[in-house]
Amino acid sequence: MADTVDSPISFRVNIRTLPRKGMPVSIIADEDQKAALAAIHDLQAVRNFRATLSVSAWRADGVRVAGSVSADIVQTCVVTLQPLDARVEEMLEALFVPENSRLARPDVSAEGEILLDPEGQDAPETFLGDTIDVGALAEQYFALGLDPYPRSEAAPVSRLDEGPSGSREEESPFAKLLSLKRKS
């Protein structure tokens, strides 16, 4: 997991001091964090943001993060440009291993090709050092839950079969081609 830019809801967990039974993590964004999330993700507002996570050891030196992310947000309708209330609900599950772990290396065939199972689990992400930023991970899942084209239910629906004047055309383009064929 690349830590190039800190998330506004950054919460680093030291994996060396992780309890045997795991550690619960609850992140509730304050006003400054919500404003930063809104600005980063081009939202009108983030009314609330909550991540409820469980961080536990996985295999010999790995870490498993599981839980949920929820938020109430205000987006802009792509049709009317009016504010649109929305809710983000995402389940989160990720595995992390140290960069030098054998679990970080992909399976390779005898010919040197990397073997991937499209139906299998994702490969664990790698990390450096002793900490993992579970807040940044929660923000990533929050971003995945955003509707890229939010549309209000009150937005007018355009019809694909309407002509430029708005009148409904009864004849399909294929019917016009058929009439050209019959003339020749």
CB 141 within 8 A of CB 37: no
pLDDT of residue 2: 47
- What pLDDT, in 10s, does the model give residues 117-143? 777 777 788 888 899 999 999 999 999
> Predicted confidence band at 169 (pLDDT cuts at 50, 70, 90)?
low
Whether residue 70 contacts residue 55, with contact meaning beta carbons closer than 8 Å, is answered with no
CB-CB contact of 156 with 79 (8 Å): yes
Predicted pLDDT of residue 145: 97
Beta strands in the chain (DSSP E): 12-14, 23-28, 45-58, 62-76, 83-98, 125-127, 131-133
pTM of the model: 0.77
**Of 174 and 111, the one with more pLDDT:** 111
Which residue did the predictor score with more confidence, 44 or 176? Answer: 44
Structural domain boundaries in the chain? 12-105+122-183
Whole-angstrom distance, CA of residue 15 vs CA of residue 95: 13
Strands 12-14 and 131-133: antiparallel
Give pLDDT tens digits for 22-38.
999 999 999 999 999 99
